[in-house]
Structure 1
Amino acid sequence: MAAVVVGSAALVGVLVVQSLPSLSSSIAWPFDFPRGDHHGPAVDDGAVPADVSVFDDEIPAVVNLDPDLLGALRRAASDAAADGLAFVVNNGWRSPEYQEQLLREAVSKYGSEREAARWVAAPNTSAHVSGEAVDVGPAAAAAWLSRHGAEYGLCQIYTNEPWHYELRPEASEDGCPPPYADPTQDPRMQQ
C-alpha cells in the first residue's frame, strides 16, 4: 500500500512540475502579443512561440538580439537557474513590419496613438526592432532581474513594463538609471 501511495505522489509531482512552465510563462501584458502561429505574424518576423528559452538559437526573436544583450541575458539566466528560475523570452527582436502591426493593434485597443505609445513604440524608435530590448517572463524571472539585473548590465527601462530589459553595461558598476514612467517619457521615442 505504501508503494502505491509513494508512486501516486511521484506521478502527481511529475505532472505538476511539467505543467509549471506553461503556467508560469504568462505575464500580465497590457494586451495580448500574437504568438507565431498560423493566425499571427511569422516567427521570422519576431513572433515568439510559447516557452522560448533565452538559449534557443532557432528563434529569430532571440538570435537577432544584440550579441552583448543576449550574452548578458544568458549569463543572468544561468545564475537565476541556481535559484530555480527559468527565463522565458516573451518578446525580443522584431521586424519593422511586426512592430508596425503591434502599434496598430495598440492604437485600436487603447483608442489613440498617444495612449498606445505608452506600450508600443513606432518601428523607427523601437529598441525591439534594433534588437536592443527583451521582454522576460515569467513574472518571477522579471522580479529576479529587477533585483539582480544591474550585476549583468540589464536594466528595467520603464516602470509600467517590469518585463522590459535593455543592456546598460555601466550598470554593473553604477547601478541602473531610474526607469522612465513609460516609453512616452523616453527621449529616444521622441523622433
Structure 2
Amino acid sequence: MAAIVVALGHPLLKPSSDSAATPGQDSSALLPAPSLSDRPPSHAPHRESRGALDEADGVVPDGVTVRDDEVPAVANLDAELLDALRRAARDAVDDGVTFTVNSGWRSAAYQEELLRKAVTQYGSAAEAARWVATATTSPHVAGDAVDIGPDRATAWLSEHGAAYGLCRIYRNEPWHFELRTDAADRGCPRMYADPTQDPRMRQ
C-alpha cells in the first residue's frame, strides 16, 4: 500500500508579552526560528497508509531525490524550481549533504486529504490552516513548492538557498522552499509566521 508523506510542522513559538511588535513591524520577525531537529514526534514528517492515493497523486516513496524524474512529485515541479533545486543539491554534496524530497507536487485530491487529516489532528480548520493549505491555494498543487529533508539539508538550504533563488517562506515550516528568482540579488523575502499570514492563502 502506498505511503503518504505528511510534513505538518512544528508548533509555532509565540513571542512573550513584553516583545510585542511595534506598529508596522512584521510580527513574524519576533518569532524565533523553530529548531530543525527538536520537533515533537506527532509533528515530524511521517508516513501513513492511504489506499486510494498513490505516486500519481504526488505521494513520495522513501529515498526520493531531486533527480528522480520518474516520480510525479518531482517531475511535475515547476521547471525553474527543479533546476534550482538540482543545482543546489549538486553543490551541497561537496559539503557532505544530500537532499531528499519529502513532498513536492501534489494532486488536488492529495492536498484535500492532507487538509482533512490536519483538521482531525489539530482540532479545527483554523488551526489546521497554519500547517496545510487548501487545494485551491496550495503552492504544492501548482508545483511551486517542495519540502526537503533531512534536517542537515534544510539547514544547508536555509543558509545557502538564496544564492539559487530558493527561499523558506514560513517560519514554522523549515523544510518548505519556494523559488524567488530575485533572491540571489536581494536576499529572500521576510518569512511569514505561518501560512495564515500569506496573502495567497486568502483567495
TM-score band w.r.t. shorter chain = 0.7 to 0.9
Q: Distance in 1 between matches of 2:52 and 2:73?
A: 15
Partner of 1:171: 183
> Partner amino acid for 1:171?
A
The one-character-per-residue Cα deviations of 1:36-68 (angstroms, maximum 9, x if unpaired) are x67462010000011101110110000100000
Match of 2:109 among 79, 84, 97: 97
Q: CA deviation at 1:31?
A: 5.7
> Partner amino acid for 2:69?
D
Partner of 1:146: 158
Q: CA deviation at 1:33?
A: 5.0
Q: How many residues align?
A: 165
- Note if 1:137 corresponds to 2:152: no
Q: Distance in 1 between matches of 2:181 and 2:94?
A: 23
Alignment RMSD (CA, Å) = 1.8
Q: Distance in 2 between matches of 1:91 and 1:97?
A: 14
Partner of 1:187: 199
Question: So what's the TM-score if we normalise by structure 1?
Answer: 0.82
Q: CA deviation at 1:140?
A: 0.5
Segment of structure 1 superposing worse, 81-90 or 38-47: 38-47
Q: Secondary structure of the residue that 2:43 maps to in structure 1?
A: coil
Partner of 1:156: 168
Structure 1: where are the runs of 5+ without partners? 1-25
Q: Secondary structure of the residue that 2:126 maps to in structure 1?
A: helix
Stretches (4+) displaced over 3 A: 26-29, 31-35, 37-40
Alignment of structure 1 residues 24-103 onto 2, 5 Å: 28=39, 30=43, 32-34=45-47, 39=51, 41-103=53-115
Higher RCO, 1 vs 2 (CA within 8 Å, ≥6 residues apart): 2
> Partner amino acid for 1:145?
L
> Partner amino acid for 1:162?
P
Q: Secondary structure of the residue that 2:102 maps to in structure 1?
A: strand
Structure 2: where are the runs of 5+ without partners? 1-36
**Rg larger in 1 or in 2?**
1
Q: CA deviation at 1:30?
A: 2.5
CA contact (8 A) 1:106 1:116 kept: yes
CA contact (8 A) 1:34 1:47 kept: no
Q: Secondary structure of the residue that 2:152 maps to in structure 1?
A: helix
CA contact (8 A) 1:27 1:138 kept: no
The one-character-per-residue Cα deviations of 1:9-52 (angstroms, maximum 9, x if unpaired) are xxxxxxxxxxxxxxxxx9957365546x6746201000001110
Q: Distance in 2 between matches of 1:157 and 1:93?
A: 17
Q: CA deviation at 1:111?
A: 0.5
Q: Distance in 2 between matches of 1:27 and 1:169?
A: 31
